[in-house]
Structures are given as C-alpha cells and as structure tokens.
Amino acid sequence: MDYDYAIETVRREVRDLTGERIGKSTMENFYYGKGDPKFSTVMAIMRWVDSKEIASSVNNNNNMSSVNNNENNMG
C-alpha cells in the first residue's frame, strides 16, 4: 500500500467518524511521534483506532461462530 494513500485513508475515515479534520502533516507527525498534537486530534485518532478494534473483534467473533456452526453441522 502506498504511504500517501494510507495517510489519506486514515484522514478520511477519522473525518467520517468524528467530523475532525486532520491535516496531512499533522497525521504524518502523529505517526512518527513528532510534535505535540492537539488533544482533540489525539482523541479523534483514538476513536478511529477503537472503531477498527471493535470492527475487528466483531469480525473475529462472526468468523468463530461460522467455524463453530460448520463443525456442529458436520458432526
């Protein structure tokens, strides 16, 4: 994946989720741990991370349910 594409994707998803507009340089600085981002920027990114973790957890649970259902149907 192209680095610029990844940065733009995260920026767009954070904006869609939180309404917070984050500049490209702010996102790059956050990624590399440079500077001192605003609290609202950090919180917006944290909400985005949380949403990804929740989605991943739901997907993992659904996949496990599917595996368990398949095993039950086979036996």
Q: How many Å apart are CA 62 and CA 42, to the nearest integer?
A: 30
Q: How many Å apart are CA 67 and CA 70, to the nearest integer?
A: 5
CB 31 within 8 Å of CB 54: no
Q: How many Å apart are CA 11 and CA 44, to the nearest integer?
A: 10
Rounded to the nearest 10 degrees, the angle between the axes of helix 39-74 and helix 3-18 is: 90
Q: How many domains does the chain have?
A: 1
Blockwise average pLDDT, block size 10, the chain, 75 residues: 88 94 93 92 94 84 61 57
List the structure tokens of 20.
């917070």
The model carries a pTM of 0.67
Residue 11 structural domain = 3-74
pLDDT for 69 equals 57
Q: Please report where in the chains the tokens 């039950």 appear, as a residue.
A: 72
pLDDT for 22 equals 94
pLDDT for 27 equals 93
pLDDT for 59 equals 76
pLDDT for 56 equals 84
